[in-house]
């Protein structure tokens, strides 16, 4: 099996010790229902008794094994075992830090967090300041655009793009004035320190100090998945080169992990269950301008595996709409491979006459564009079509076939692979069986490659542990019985004991496992377990407790047995009868508990 979710498990996220007290964290969690938090990112279907199901956003699957429990406020995937509470979900899904996730949920739930000066983590402080600087800059550039004196050039240019005022507003377009350090001065006046202004990437330093990075450009804010401007694209107002410059990366902005328009497109993507991938800022804004709102853009950077994985969290299908020039086609073919590998169904198209979506929609209207997107070819057909100049010779066709085979090894679904192979054979005029055999050979070679990365060892929750804890959660009366039955027994430390302790201490309130990943996983798995009837639950608990006791007694019995042997070896005859009596007592106890 290629791909899958083993890779994800190796990077199991460790929750850092929070700077906030348990009370604050609990308060924030209580103010947000995890079902709403997850439900705003993933389409959840009710699965009975307060649980919801969805196809997992963290691994590729066809049948849903991702569950969310409203009662326990936990999510858990029975496939890849990602799990946690609402804070953990946002960390995983949106790539936030613990602090950012906490703050986002605090805002969402109307909980006031302690002020900035109350914590001392420098990284968090800088990230917070950069977020403030980004917001300030977006406002500043918009005000410059609106300013009668300063904004004339920007407004003039914007007019040529023929966007509706609401589109301009929605995407927060602005204007960076000429003059050297207008932004730097405004930011200083607002109280931003030079180190923050410089770290934001909106200013650079020379021997005379800070100066504006963007000058006399149309400013396009690049937002993160929460809608905060973290970077900017700046468009030259004429034909000057470079046409676009982008903010350099900073603590908040990673080019390879950002897709332009994702924040705005989330609703549309959920509705359409697919996304159109375009190249430019204005291609995307044009689409939104005419009501096509399930679009994201790469904006000048080559598509990355991280971006492909990001798309996969939201939709199962992507339609690549790149320019029909050579660079565009090459980028599209590369994109096919990355997106397929991320588990997405990929279709692709180019627009007639080498037009980009912006030009095309302006000339032919949104309906023709929509139709083309609906009819976009599957990636095999697209790939073959784009390789037309190589199809005349058998060598050329074989080369194209090899490239497609390589892409197909990344497809995780046998049915689809079969269908693609059939299409390939037809399109390339190659024998279907020859195609299949060659593909099987390539796949086999790849799997046998000696330097293949070993999948990380998968940690799993033992089913007995999960069902034991689930029984206690679903039937709290059993909690006390388990407590009584286990009192006086020295239990081996481990996830089960961690969870038990938390349940006993918190009287059934939702526990938080900050530093114990295994306990957190066990708890999430148990919280999302199907319903267990009271009788079955009681049996599970009795059985589990007996097993625990039996294991302890067996260890003790073996221990005494060792001492008997030792005594025999050292001719210590006096102590042997007593040891034998002890062992007999323990063995009787084991028998009393019955067979396992």
518's tokens: 């295994």
* Of 365, 283, 364, nearest in space to 328 by CA: 283
**Stretch touching Zn ion by CB under 5 A, among 79-87, 219-227, 486-494, 528-536:** 79-87
Among 44, 77, 86, 158, binds Zn ion (CB under 5 A): 77
Q: Judged by CB under 5 A, does residue 400 bind Zn ion? A: no
Nearer to Zn ion, 79 or 174 (CB): 79
The one-character DSSP state at 375 is T
Binding mask 28-57 for Zn ion (x = CB under 5 A): ----------------------------x-
CB 61 to Zn ion: min, Å? 7
Give the separation between CA 335 and CA 545, rounded to whole angstroms: 54
CA distances, 246 to each of 19, 213, 251, 305, 577 (Å)? 34, 10, 15, 20, 85
How many amino acids of this chain bind Zn ion (CB under 5 A)? Answer: 6
346 vs 312: CA distance, rounded Å: 11
Tell me the H-state helices in 95-235: 98-109, 122-146, 152-161, 165-170, 182-189, 194-199
The nearest distance, CB 453 to Zn ion, in angstroms, is 20
Q: Which residues contact 139 (CB under 8 A, 6 or more apart)?
A: none
CB of 49 to Zn ion, least distance (A): 21
**Binder among 79, 229, 511, 520 for Zn ion (CB under 5 A):** 79
Which residue, 58 or 140, is less far from Zn ion as judged by CB? 58
Rounded to the nearest whole angstrom, what is the least distance from the CB of residue 80 to Zn ion in the complex?
3
**What is the DSSP secondary structure assignment for residue 389, as one 8-state letter?**
G
Q: How near is the Cβ of 12 to Zn ion at its closest, in Å?
A: 12
Q: How many CA atoms lie within 13 A of 510 on its CB side?
A: 23
In this complex, which beta carbon is closest to Zn ion, that of residue 58 or of residue 420?
58
Q: Which is nearer to Zn ion, 76 or 439 (CB)?
A: 76
Question: Rounded CA gap, 485 and 464, in Å?
Answer: 18
Residue 271 Cα distances to 40, 59, 260, 266, 295, angstroms: 12, 21, 19, 9, 12
| Biggest CA-to-CA distance, the chain | 107
Closest to Zn ion by CB, 67 vs 307, is 67
Nearer to Zn ion, 52 or 58 (CB): 58
The binder of Zn ion chosen from 15, 59, 103, 274 (CB under 5 A): 59
Three-state secondary structure readout of 81-124? CCEECHHHHHHHHHCCCHHHHHHHHHHHHCCCCCCHHHCCCHHH
Could you tell me which stretch among 74-82, 365-373, 400-408, 577-585 binds Zn ion (CB under 5 A)?
74-82
State which residue, 44 or 80, has the beta carbon closest to Zn ion: 80
> Smallest gap, in angstroms, from Cβ of residue 29 to Zn ion?
22
CB 506 within 8 A of CB 437: no
- Judged by CB under 5 A, the residue of 58, 76, 157, 383 near Zn ion is 58
* Binding characters for Zn ion, 459-498, by CB under 5 A (x = yes): ----------------------------------------
**At closest approach, how far in Å is the CB of 54 from Zn ion?**
10
Per CB under 5 A, contacts with Zn ion among 80-109 are 80
DSSP state of 454: P
User: In angstroms, what is the minimal distance from the CB of 9 to Zn ion?
Assistant: 10
Please, what is the minimum distance in Å from the beta carbon of residue 50 to Zn ion?
Answer: 20
* Secondary structure class of 229 (helix, strand, coil): strand
Name the site residues for Zn ion (rule: CB under 5 A): 56, 58-59, 77, 79-80
């Amino acid at each position: 099996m290629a791909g899958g979710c083993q890779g994800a498990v190796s990077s199991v996220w460790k929750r850092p010790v929070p700077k906030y007290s348990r009370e604050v964290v609990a308060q924030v969690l209580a103010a947000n229902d995890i079902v709403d938090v997850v439900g705003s990112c993933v389409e959840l279907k009710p699965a009975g008794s307060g649980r919801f199901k969805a196809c997992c956003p963290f691994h590729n699957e066809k049948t849903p094994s991702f569950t969310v429990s409203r009662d326990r406020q936990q999510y858990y995937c029975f496939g890849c075992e990602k799990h946690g509470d609402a804070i953990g979900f946002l960390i995983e899904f949106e790539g936030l830090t613990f602090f950012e996730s906490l703050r986002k949920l605090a805002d969402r739930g109307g909980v006031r967090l302690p002020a900035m000066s109350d914590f001392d983590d420098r990284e968090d402080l800088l990230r917070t300041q950069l977020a403030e600087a980004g917001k300030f800059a977006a406002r500043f550039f918009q005000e410059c655009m609106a300013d009668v004196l300063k904004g004339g050039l920007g407004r003039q240019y914007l007019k040529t793009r023929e966007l509706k005022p609401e589109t301009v507003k929605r995407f927060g377009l602005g204007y960076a004035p000429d003059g050297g350090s207008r932004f730097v001065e405004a930011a200083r006046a607002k109280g931003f320190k030079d180190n923050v202004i410089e770290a934001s990437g909106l200013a650079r330093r020379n021997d005379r100090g800070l100066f504006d990075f963007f000058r006399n450009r149309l400013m396009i804010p690049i937002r993160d998945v929460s809608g905060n401007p973290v970077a900017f694209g700046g468009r030259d107002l004429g034909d000057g080169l470079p046409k676009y410059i982008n903010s350099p990366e900073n603590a908040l902005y990673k080019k390879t992990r950002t897709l332009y328009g994702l924040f705005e497109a989330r609703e549309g993507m959920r509705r359409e269950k697919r996304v159109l991938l375009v190249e430019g800022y204005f291609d995307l804004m044009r689409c939104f301008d005419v009501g096509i709102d399930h679009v994201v853009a790469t904006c000048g950077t080559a598509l990355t595996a991280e971006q492909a994985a990001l798309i996969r969290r939201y939709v199962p299908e992507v339609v690549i709409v790149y320019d029909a020039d050579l660079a565009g086609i090459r980028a599209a073919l590369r994109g096919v491979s990355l997106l397929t590998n991320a588990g997405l169904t990929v279709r692709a198209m180019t627009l007639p006459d080498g037009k980009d979506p912006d030009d095309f929609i302006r000339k032919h209207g949104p309906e023709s564009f929509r139709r083309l997107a609906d009819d976009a070819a599957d990636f095999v057909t697209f790939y073959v079509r784009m390789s037309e100049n190589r199809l005349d010779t058998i060598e050329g066709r074989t080369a194209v076939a090899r490239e497609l085979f390589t892409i197909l090894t990344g497809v995780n679904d046998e049915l689809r692979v079969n269908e693609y192979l059939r299409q390939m054979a037809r399109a390339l005029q190659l024998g279907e069986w020859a195609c299949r055999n060659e593909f099987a050979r390539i796949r086999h070679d790849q799997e046998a490659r000696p330097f293949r990365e070993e999948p990380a060892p998968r940690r799993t929750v033992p089913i007995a542990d999960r069902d034991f804890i689930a029984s206690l959660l679903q039937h709290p009366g059993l909690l006390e019985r388990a407590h009584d039955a286990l009192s006086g027994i020295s239990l081996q430390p481990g996830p089960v004991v961690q969870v038990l302790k938390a349940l006993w201490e918190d009287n059934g309130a939702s526990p938080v496992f900050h530093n114990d990943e295994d306990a957190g996983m066990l708890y999430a798995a148990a919280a999302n377990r199907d319903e267990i009837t009271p009788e079955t639950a009681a049996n599970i608990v009795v059985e589990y407790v007996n097993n625990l006791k039996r294991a302890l007694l067996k260890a003790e019995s073996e221990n005494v047995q060792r001492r008997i042997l030792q005594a025999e070896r050292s001719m210590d005859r006096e102590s042997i009868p007593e040891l034998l009596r002890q062992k007999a007592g323990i063995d009787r106890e084991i028998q009393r508990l019955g067979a396992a």
